[in-house]
Amino acid sequence: MRQGFGYMTIALRTADTFSAKCEPGASRGTPHPSGLHEHLDRLRSFGLRQSFARNETIFAEGEDAKRIYRIVEGAVRLCKHTADGRRHIVDFMFPGELLGIVEDDEHGFTAEALNNVVVESFPRNRLDQIGRFDPAVGSQLRAHLYENLLTMQMHLLVLGCQDAKERLASFLLRLARRTGIQRGGLLDVAMGRQDIADHLGLTIETICRAIRDLKAQGSVATPNAHQFVLTNMPALRALAIAN
Amino acid sequence: MRQGFGYMTIALRTADTFSAKCEPGASRGTPHPSGLHEHLDRLRSFGLRQSFARNETIFAEGEDAKRIYRIVEGAVRLCKHTADGRRHIVDFMFPGELLGIVEDDEHGFTAEALNNVVVESFPRNRLDQIGRFDPAVGSQLRAHLYENLLTMQMHLLVLGCQDAKERLASFLLRLARRTGIQRGGLLDVAMGRQDIADHLGLTIETICRAIRDLKAQGSVATPNAHQFVLTNMPALRALAIAN
DNA sequence: CGTTAGTTTGAAGAGGCTCAAGCGAGGTGG
DNA sequence: CCACCTCGCTTGAGCCTCTTCAAACTAACG
């Protein structure tokens, strides 16, 4: 651990860029471009800025959920662990996205930095306090939870119905939709192969072979292990579950 | 379709029994024994009671979500379909549970009757209206969404990490926890093998074989195809993900 | 008592997993 | 500056689980 920089060419997006967010569900117009951000901005004075190096834990499953987090820079994985040590990555999170919003007292998963991560965190009870006067907060929180719910349902469909290549295609397309694509069609992939495997319910070897196959059929190219070019979107979309 | 009765020995529970509900998460005390029910009861005059025969559709994915449903009797499956016709059953629902609560304009999945089902439905905008005066409604809706979210996360873990026997064990234990167990340790299983398969991301044959294996190792018995006896709970729990 | 829908079992095949080794890029120390 | 080491990625071979296809069985119903 703590071994420096990791990948991700350049984190172009900053905390003020997140209005472009549009996830999930592609088709439906974004219901709320997360109005929650405005409320958090109003809590600036309570905001705490923190940095985490690769593989450091931002918060852990079971910990008291006293603060909510906004990712300013870097990428994060959300993990759940089984009793016998198996790991599943529920989702990845990117700049401008909110983290650790629960209705429980404790966090339901562990959040770990994929690379150098900067987060701002805010006391949860402050937001609740605003919510007591401004009913919009409640509905924005609900919208946030609902988005997450839709994302989970989509992912259930992926794990329940798709084979390795299809899962990878779904993953890459969603990643492209969320993080955007650099000039030259370059897609930066912050997470390692093992992370992708644990997210898609496969092994690292199967991920590698699925990538090789997609390359062989001309659907993607990989200039290096952490960058992809989606050379044939229609083919990928045909594999994936929906866009 | 419409071939009469289906299974499920006797639906003992009625609309007034749901206070016993305690899902998901076993450990945590039920955060809200769904206070939403009280609000719905207050909307009695707008309530619409409907019956559905086995395999009939209660509402379909993509339809306008104008009403929310409460199951009075019977069991329901919630399905999503991929473009190429594959089916995934997101979850099953039982008497006393609420159905079709979305933040969207349209339903995110299809609800179909597993057996003879009776539901009460209420206009969504009426509940919203109550919510404008009573802030508790909003937080109860949020709690409801959050419960669903936790359930999905649990199920992701099942699909992402477990093999056939483990998935079946997880499924049976959760089912027992939700629907309760008859005298004699009998667990009524309203859904067919194909439904279980589509819920667990397996084929019907694999389900049958997993059942056979659990029987062989003495963990369950099956007096008939729609009843199970969980003869060795510790063994099942050891297989399952958490309780 | 035949029909039908659903369940169960078998045999063969495929996709993904395991184990093992090779490769390549980055960082470190001489 | 190069050699070395390490970590993560990639590839291969064999195995195992789950799937596929096919057929037999069972129970409910007309």
Contact in structure between A151 and A24 (CB atoms under 8 Å): yes
CA distance B7 to chain A (A): 26
Distance CA A108, CA A98 (A): 15
Peptide bond before residue B31 is cis, with ω within 30 degrees of 0: no
CA distance A130 to chain B (A): 13
Q: Is the CB of B179 under 7 A from strand D?
A: no
Distance CA B57, CA B123 (A): 18
pLDDT at B38: 87
- Residue ranges of chain A with per-residue pLDDT less than 70: 1-33, 243
pLDDT at B34: 73
Structural element, H or E, at residue B47: none
Q: With an 8 Å Cβ cutoff, are B153 and A80 in contact?
A: yes
Close Cβ partners of B232 (under 8 Å, ≥ 6 residues apart): B217, B218, B219, B220
> Sign of torsion, CA A57 A61 A64 A66?
positive
pLDDT at B243: 57
pLDDT at A7: 36
Collapsing DSSP to helix, strand or coil, A54 comes out as coil
Token pair, residue B70, equals 């409460």
Interface contacts (A, B; CB < 8 Å): 104
What pairs with residue B73 in β-bridges? B118
Distance CA A105, CA A130 (A): 19
When pLDDT is averaged across residues B206-219 and rounded to a whole number, the result is 98
What b-and-e string marks burial along A86-106, b requiring 16 or more CB atoms within 10 Å of the CB?
A: ebbbbbbbbbbbbbbbbbeee
Using the predicted structure, report yes or no on whether residue B13 has a pLDDT greater than 90: no
Distance CA A204, CA B222 (A): 38
Using the predicted structure, report yes or no on whether residue B21 has a pLDDT greater than 80: no
In percent, the amount of chain A with pLDDT more than 70 equals 86
pLDDT tens digits along B68-123: 999 999 999 999 999 888 999 999 999 999 999 999 999 999 999 999 999 999 99
Q: pLDDT category, B6, cuts 50, 70, 90?
A: very low
Q: pLDDT category, B12, cuts 50, 70, 90?
A: very low
Q: Report chain B's mean pLDDT, rounded to a whole number.
A: 87
Residues constituting chain B:
243
Q: With an 8 Å Cβ cutoff, are A145 and B143 in contact?
A: no
Residue entry with tokens 């089912």? B175
When pLDDT is averaged across residues B140-154 and rounded to a whole number, the result is 96
pLDDT at B107: 98
Contact in structure between A61 and A105 (CB atoms under 8 Å): no
* Residue whose C-alpha is closest to residue B90's, from A26, A152, A81: A152
pLDDT at B89: 98
> Sign of torsion, CA A187 A92 A98 A30?
positive
Please tell me which of the candidates A146, A149, A201 has its beta carbon nearest to residue B160: A201
